[in-house]
Amino acid sequence: MGLVLLVALVAAAVAFPLDGRIRLGLDLKGGAQILLRAKGTPDNPLTEDGIQRLLAVLRNRIDQYGVVEPQIQRQGGDRILVLLPGVEDPDAALDLIGKTALLEFRSVLGASPELPPGPERRNYDSDEAYNAAKARWEAIKAQADQVAEEMRKSAPEGSLVAKGEDGRWYLLGRPYLTGKELKDARTSFDQFGRPVVSLKFNDAGAKLFDEATAQNVGRQIAIVLDGVVVSAPVVQERIRGGEAQISGRFTEAEAKRLAIMLRAGALPVGVEILESRSVGPTLGADSISRGIRAGLIGAGLVSLFMLVFYGLMGLAADVALAVAVTLVMAAMVLLKSTLTLPGIGGIILTIGMAVDGNILIYERIKEERRGGKTLLAALDAGFRKALTVILDSNVTTLIAAAVLFYFGTGPIRGFAVTLSIGVVASVFCNVVVTRAILQILMGRRRAAL
Amino acid sequence: MFNKSSLNIPFMRYRRVALAISAVAVVLSLLLVLTRGLNLGVDYTGGVLVHLELPREAQVGDIRSVVSPRVSGEPIIQAYGPRDFMLRLKSPSEAERKAVLSVLRERFGDVKVLKLETVGPVVGAELKSEAMVALALALLGILLYMAFRFQFRFGVAAVLSLVHDAAIMLGVYSLTGREVSVSFIAAVLTVVGYSLNDSIVVLDRIRENWRDVPKKGISQVVDDSINQTLSRTINTSLTTLLPVLAMFFLGGDVISNFAFAFLVGIGVGTYSSIYIAGAILAEWFLKSPVR
């Protein structure tokens, strides 16, 4: 008994107060989990060095974005897992990680007519007016596409046909300079109060930009980001200072992200986002409070059931259940396991399964009593005979949990962990704790059993 | 909630009926899965799942009319609350996701993304094959353990009743059109592990009573064993169902979906471990008796 009390007290001391001691998964505390694959191209094949540089750029971007305790793990040859706790805008996180951010300045050799946004039905009074507008728009689009097709055919070596954010197609010459020649990039606002990204080139870049603007006075220079023309301003005069501005159609947050990506540099190899899962912090907090409520109510119902059906022995089972749950929490803290949302489900399920062992033992005791054994002998036989069944049945649950742990990722793994810990804790509580409590009760109130 | 000492329900008298009902249920489930199919979630099909919070109340129709023209394939839109919506897009393409969010913001103002999951086709296919391997491995592991602990026939009876449970769970998911996600597979595996507990209790008792077979006959021995263990089988299932019900009603959408699978699985599992495992054993023994 002394041992049982000691175990329970130590477990309680380890586990409480729970706040901050249990490591929460990203699905509970909020954050983004992104799985990337580095993609080589024939021109830029994947090398070990390339992946190392990719990791460095990603780390740099994430640090500059201000994520606390990010994790960047390499998985296998070409996969990278990025964990970003506390990120509130999952969409922004995907941009930050997945965008190559290759910046180029190119001359504009030709452009298609501007394509306005397509008509929307709610802006028109009748179906006819809408259909007519739509037909006109289709015609312009076909024309623009044809120009693009011709540009592709006639495109000289080193040039690029790219779409602009304004809907035009552009035929672009060789890049004058790229993001590699940048020294710094910051967000600021233009005279209309719109967010822009201000660039500062390094010495080589300043010289190249000087030459480019000198050659193109009165003509357009396209600012191309990842193959899309962000803007194509007309050069008013030669620019000597090595500074430029990108004004695109972006929000302040987007401008800030772009500046970060330009400062951290382009990704040395392209990446593909294989999988991403992110949860906002409010949803995570909501999940926790709902989980706790469901768990408490479930535990209350189970305790009541045991009390009603097994009386004083039920009370012993309830105490054992409380010890089991405390042990699960303590084990989570000690093993530094991560609690996930399905993991909470696993703990609640454990609450129901933990008393199963007690029921097996108690029913067996009742049976032995009916067979004519004395209370003490029945208790002894009950524990002894029920033990094999309890072990058998829990081993099979452990087999299932082990398979889940091996195959599952993140949240499901969390479920497998809490389920396994729960199973082990409940067997201990069934067999050892319940028995100790019953022995004490027996010593005091033989008649009650 | 059986607490009587002298229950004597003649289960085995109706074993053929029970086996027939179960066989029909399993066949129907498999047919449903083959014809109607399962509502596979983004985990397996690939695609995008977005949980949105709008600044004002809206109807599913409003969102559909804005989103549909922007995406390939029909999006699935579910209301979680007056301002909470779940969107499922077929294609994991970034351009579509961006387009959808920007039209929604244009229309409704400050739309908050509470949850965003994108799964590419590569990972979807991987998760699918992992689920298959995991199910097969778990069944194999349990079969091996049963073979080690019990006679061969006991193991086969237990595993058949597990396959029965898993098939019916799939059938119910096909029928109700609930989403099959990674957590559903986790629930199936857990139910497989858990439902075996009850079968083991019954089988263990049959093994204990085995020496009575020459005297009483197999049917009577199985009946006795089921009756002797009935109160614990039902009580253990009930105590597990109580917290599962709490999860189902109060746990929030993710946990609730998880709990639904347990609810079905534990219900079917309790029936199958009371009836099916014993009935298979009895039928088999009557065909070709062993000591």
For the ranges A124-128, A360-364, B72-76, the one whose mean pLDDT is highest: A360-364
pLDDT at B248 (0 to 100): 92
The DSSP bridge partners found for residue A383 are none
B52 in the same domain as B15: no
Q: Per-residue pLDDT for B168 more than 80?
A: yes
CA–CA separation, A146 and A160 (whole Å): 16
Residue B4 confidence class, pLDDT cut points 50, 70, 90? very low
For residue B247, the distance in angstroms to the closest alpha carbon of chain A comes to 5
Q: Which of A351, A406, A419 sits opposite B243 (nearest CB)?
A: A351
Q: Does residue B1 fall inside a structural domain?
A: no
The Cβ of residue B57 has, within 10 Å, a number of other Cβ atoms equal to 10
pLDDT in tens, B7-45: 778 888 888 888 899 999 999 999 998 998 888 888 888
- Asked whether the bond before A17 is cis by omega within 30 degrees of 0, the reply is yes
Strand-by-strand arrangement of the A243-246 sheet: A182-189, A195-201, A243-246
B149 in the same domain as B75: no
CATH number of this structure's domain A103-263, picked from the four choices 3.40.50.300, 3.30.1360.200, 3.40.50.1980, 3.40.47.10: 3.30.1360.200
Residue A333 Cα distances to A84, A404, A413, angstroms: 22, 21, 16
DSSP code, position B199: H
B246 in the same domain as B181: yes
B196 in the same domain as B100: no
Q: Per-residue pLDDT for A291 more than 80?
A: yes
Residue A49 confidence class, pLDDT cut points 50, 70, 90? confident
Q: Using the structure block, give the residue that is written with the tokens 């994790």.
A: A71
Q: Do A291 and B251 touch (CB under 8 A)?
A: yes
CATH number of residue B103's parent domain: 3.30.70.3400
For residue A369, the distance in angstroms to the closest alpha carbon of chain B comes to 11
pLDDT at B79 (0 to 100): 83
CA–CA separation, A73 and B102 (whole Å): 32
Mean pLDDT of A353-373: 87
In B, minimum Cα distance to A366 occurs at B5
Q: Which of B186, B242, B258 sits opposite A352 (nearest CB)?
A: B242
Q: Using the structure block, give the residue that is written with the tokens 């009386």.
A: A311
Q: Which of B92, B97, B145 sits opposite A396 (nearest CB)?
A: B145
Mean pLDDT of A112-137: 77
Strand B84-89 with A243-246, pairing: unpaired
Q: Do B120 and A273 touch (CB under 8 A)?
A: yes
B191 in the same domain as B56: no
CA–CA separation, A143 and A154 (whole Å): 17
Q: Per-residue pLDDT for B210 more than 70?
A: yes
Mean pLDDT, all residues of chain A: 83
B216 in the same domain as B165: yes
Q: SS3 of A66, please?
A: coil
In A, minimum Cα distance to B243 occurs at A298
For residue A201, the distance in angstroms to the closest alpha carbon of chain B comes to 31
pLDDT at A410 (0 to 100): 67
Q: Per-residue pLDDT for A404 more than 60?
A: yes
The domain boundary, picked from B97, B114, B131, lies at B114
Q: Where are the alpha helices (DSSP H) in A236-340?
A: 252-264, 281-334
Strand B39-40 with B179-180, pairing: parallel
Q: Using the structure block, give the residue that is written with the tokens 């690029």.
A: A160
B143 in the same domain as B82: no
Angle formed by the axes of helices A434-444 and A341-370, nearest 10°: 40
For residue B81, the distance in angstroms to the closest alpha carbon of chain A comes to 13
Mean pLDDT of B178-202: 83
Q: Do B243 and A91 touch (CB under 8 A)?
A: no
Residue A392 confidence class, pLDDT cut points 50, 70, 90? confident
Q: Does residue B175 fall inside a structural domain?
A: yes
Non-local CB neighbours of A35 within 8 Å, separated by 6+ positions: A75, A79, A80, A81, A82, A273, A274, A275, A276, B123
B55 in the same domain as B36: no
Q: Does residue B72 fall inside a structural domain?
A: yes
pLDDT at A1 (0 to 100): 63
- From A208-217, B134-143, B215-224, B276-285, the region with the lowest mean pLDDT: B134-143
Q: Which of B134, B186, B241 sits opposite A415 (nearest CB)?
A: B186
Amino acid found at A385:
K
pLDDT at A449 (0 to 100): 43
The domain boundary, picked from B59, B80, B114, lies at B114
B207 in the same domain as B86: no
Q: Does residue B4 fall inside a structural domain?
A: no
pLDDT in tens, B44-63: 888 888 888 888 888 888 88
Q: Does residue B2 fall inside a structural domain?
A: no
pLDDT in tens, A174-194: 888 888 888 888 888 888 888
Q: Which of A37, A277, A370 sits opposite B117 (nearest CB)?
A: A277
The domain boundary, picked from B55, B79, B114, lies at B114
Q: Per-residue pLDDT for B257 more than 50?
A: yes
Residue B171 confidence class, pLDDT cut points 50, 70, 90? very high
pLDDT at B2 (0 to 100): 42
Domain extent for B103: 47-114
Q: SS3 of A25, please?
A: coil
Tokens representing residue B192 in the block: 């497989």
Domain count, chain B: 2
CATH number of residue B186's parent domain: 1.20.1640.10
B153 in the same domain as B128: yes
The reported pTM is 0.78
pLDDT at A230 (0 to 100): 83
Amino acid found at A92:
A
Non-local CB neighbours of A188 within 8 Å, separated by 6+ positions: A195, A196, A197, A198, A245
DSSP code, position A271: E
Residue A364 confidence class, pLDDT cut points 50, 70, 90? confident
Q: Do B258 and A294 touch (CB under 8 A)?
A: no
Q: Does residue B245 fall inside a structural domain?
A: yes
- The domain segmentation of chain A, as residue ranges, is 2-26+280-448, 28-99, 103-263
The CATH number of A2-26+280-448 is 1.20.1640.10
pLDDT at B192 (0 to 100): 82
| CATH level 3 topology of A28-99 | Alpha-Beta Plaits (3.30.70)
B268 in the same domain as B180: yes
Residues in chain B closer than 8 A to A398 (CB atoms): 193
Query: How large a percentage of chain B has pLDDT more than 90?
Result: 13
Mean pLDDT of B54-79: 82
Q: Per-residue pLDDT for A44 more than 80?
A: no
pLDDT at A447 (0 to 100): 44
For the ranges A38-47, A264-273, A288-297, the one whose mean pLDDT is highest: A288-297
Mean pLDDT of A306-332: 89
Q: Do A393 and B201 touch (CB under 8 A)?
A: yes
Residue to substitute from A100, A399, A427, A430, interface B, most B β-carbons within 10 A: A399
pLDDT in tens, A226-238: 888 888 888 888 8
Residue A58 confidence class, pLDDT cut points 50, 70, 90? confident
Count of alpha carbons within 13 angstroms of residue A255, beta-carbon side: 20
Mean pLDDT of B191-202: 82
B221 in the same domain as B259: yes
Non-local CB neighbours of A326 within 8 Å, separated by 6+ positions: A8, A11, A12, A15
Count of alpha carbons within 13 angstroms of residue A190, beta-carbon side: 15
Mean pLDDT of A414-431: 88
The Cβ of residue A45 has, within 10 Å, a number of other Cβ atoms equal to 9
Q: Do A393 and B200 touch (CB under 8 A)?
A: yes
Q: Per-residue pLDDT for B3 more than 70?
A: no
Q: Per-residue pLDDT for A445 more than 70?
A: no
DSSP code, position A234: B
